Amino acid sequence: MPARILDGKAVAAELRERLRGDVADFHRRTGITPHLAAVLVGEDPASAVYVRNKRRACEQAGIKSTLHHHVAETSQAEVLNLINRLNTDADVLGILVQLPLPEQIDQQAVLDAVSPLKDVDCFHPENVGLLMQGRPRFAPCTPAGVQELLLAGGIETEGAHAVVLGRSEIVGKPMAALLMQRGRAADATVTVCHSRSRDLADITRTADILIAAIGRARFVTAEMVKPGAAVIDVGINRVDERLVGDVDFEAVTKVAGAITPVPGGVGPMTIAMLLGNTLRAARLASE
């Protein structure tokens, strides 16, 4: 029996509709419109699409969105000056730095420069530390989106063995941190695998929940999946002008119990979580 499809697009649409009401209510009570500033450096086509989608989602939710687009040759000093101006701009309540940045710019230095109170991507060391302590100021967007998708799909996480493929600062590490916390869509036993992990398939076949976030197209094969497991594909890769994930979808869907598609799975959830974090930043600023 084919795996059940976890439709991130549909779940995200419900979350965004609910958020639209929350934003309107917040504005009625405070007179404040949440404002997200996006920083885009360079002409990377994928980044431009991501930012455009995020800005469109902001508009639909009643969130003000401003784009600061600079050419690829922009210096690190110029980007840091922009971040400083946005940090001190009382009207701007959330800051999004679209990654990747051009090679002449120290990405970590830029992310560290964003005010932790406006860091709606949850990349700042202060916010990462709070996350690790189980008291997050903001939830990291993609991992939090995965959690919401698991909840919506009725995937039991308590006591389940979750295997995360990838140890990136953006997805792998925070995903593991969220799943091992106490609470909703959490309380899992978590294993993190990476490029140095031995006997990888032996590990992934023990997973009740397998989360692939390694950036290698169709890397996860049917032989690596436990029958009936929930498979969450975070990867986005372009192959022959098509978007595909880190999971061999056609083969794995015959083994898994539930699976996310690419596109239409985790991606829309990430944007929904970003909007939620922007509203949270506005609430924190109004306190």
The predicted-structure confidence for 175-213, as pLDDT tens digits, reads as follows 999 999 999 999 999 999 999 999 999 999 999 999 999
Enumerate domains of the chain plus CATH numbers. Answer: 30-116 (3.40.50.10860), 141-267 (3.40.50.720)
Q: What pLDDT, on the 0 to 100 scale, is given for residue 37?
A: 98
**Residue 46: pLDDT band with limits 50, 70, 90:** confident
Is 54 tagged catalytic? yes
d(CA 181, CA 183): 6
Q: What pLDDT, on the 0 to 100 scale, is given for residue 129?
A: 97
Is 44 tagged catalytic? no
Q: pLDDT per residue over 144-160, tens digit each?
A: 999 999 999 999 999 99
Instruction: State the catalytic residue, choosing from 118, 119, 121, 181.
Output: 121
Instruction: State the catalytic residue, choosing from 54, 118, 173, 226.
Output: 54
Q: What pLDDT, on the 0 to 100 scale, is given for residue 230?
A: 98
Residue 1 has pLDDT above 80, yes or no: no
Is 89 tagged catalytic? no
Average pLDDT over residues 103-128: 97
The residues that bridge with 244 in the sheet, in sequence order, are: 237
Q: What pLDDT, on the 0 to 100 scale, is given for residue 45?
A: 86
Q: What pLDDT, on the 0 to 100 scale, is given for residue 44?
A: 87
Average pLDDT over residues 229-257: 95
Q: What is the CA radius of gyration of the chain?
A: 19
Query: 51-85: buried (b, 16+ CB within 10 Å) or exposed (e) per residue?
Result: beebbebbeebbbbbebbeeeeebebeebbebbee
- Model pTM? 0.95
Instruction: State the catalytic residue, choosing from 22, 25, 64, 98.
Output: 98
In a 13 Å sphere around the CA of 254, the CA atoms on its Cβ side amount to 6
Q: What pLDDT, on the 0 to 100 scale, is given for residue 59?
A: 95
